[in-house]
Amino acid sequence: MTAAMVALISAFGLVLAVELPDKTLVATLVLTTRFRGWPVFAGVCVAFAVQCVIAVAFGSVLTLLPDVVLSVVVAAMFGLGSLMLLREGFSEADEAGEDASRTGPSPLSFTRSAMTSFGVLFAAEWGDASQLATASLAARIGNPFAVGVGAFTALVVVAGLAVFIGAKLRSRIRPKLIQRCAGFAFAGFAAFALLQLAF
């Protein structure tokens, strides 16, 4: 087995193990219950690609970024998302509007849905364990391209799983309930990011 293949498999396995129980999967799942699946998948994949390029380009330098700045940015992004989702989830809606919304996700444009998904996941992944693991592997193994491909592939697998689950949930649960749960989940992520400032 070549060194490049070892680097790719190592990065894939490590990032997959880190991300499956992480907020990345939950955030992508929540976005899919709010928007159509393909724009969400496209947006988060672009965010992952950018984050992987940053990680392998700068290697372990990312670990030197101030934790305070990272935590505040992540908390602000999730806090904003929480406010938007809770506002819509608790807004007054007549039964006809509620029934109509059960047939599909929000009718926003592909670009707007993808950009929203990109912004949320880009902020969530900045300084995340998977990005730091990718940076560390790139610095240690010395094959940044293979490490980057392995990490990106693992993130795409996680995103695909989250989009699939989110689409199934959307067709079975009332949209307002999904929005409320999503809003509270995002608020929890924001609180967690702020709590990291204390430690």
pLDDT tens-digit map of 157-168: 988 988 888 777
Name the nearest CA neighbour of 106 among 181, 43, 36, 14: 36
Using pLDDT thresholds of 50, 70 and 90, give the confidence band for residue 43. very high
Q: Do the beta carbons of residue 62 and residue 132 sit within 8 Å?
A: yes
Residue 18 pLDDT > 80: no
Averaged over 53-62, what is the pLDDT? 70
- DSSP H or E stretch at residue 184: helix 175-195
- Mean pLDDT for 116-138 is 78
pLDDT tens digits along 167-176: 777 667 665 6
Ranked by mean pLDDT, the top range of 18-22, 29-33, 41-45, 137-141 is 41-45
Write out the two tokens for 27: 């955030």
Chain centroid to CA 42: how far?
Answer: 12
Q: Where are the domains of the chain?
A: 3-198
- Global pTM reads 0.67
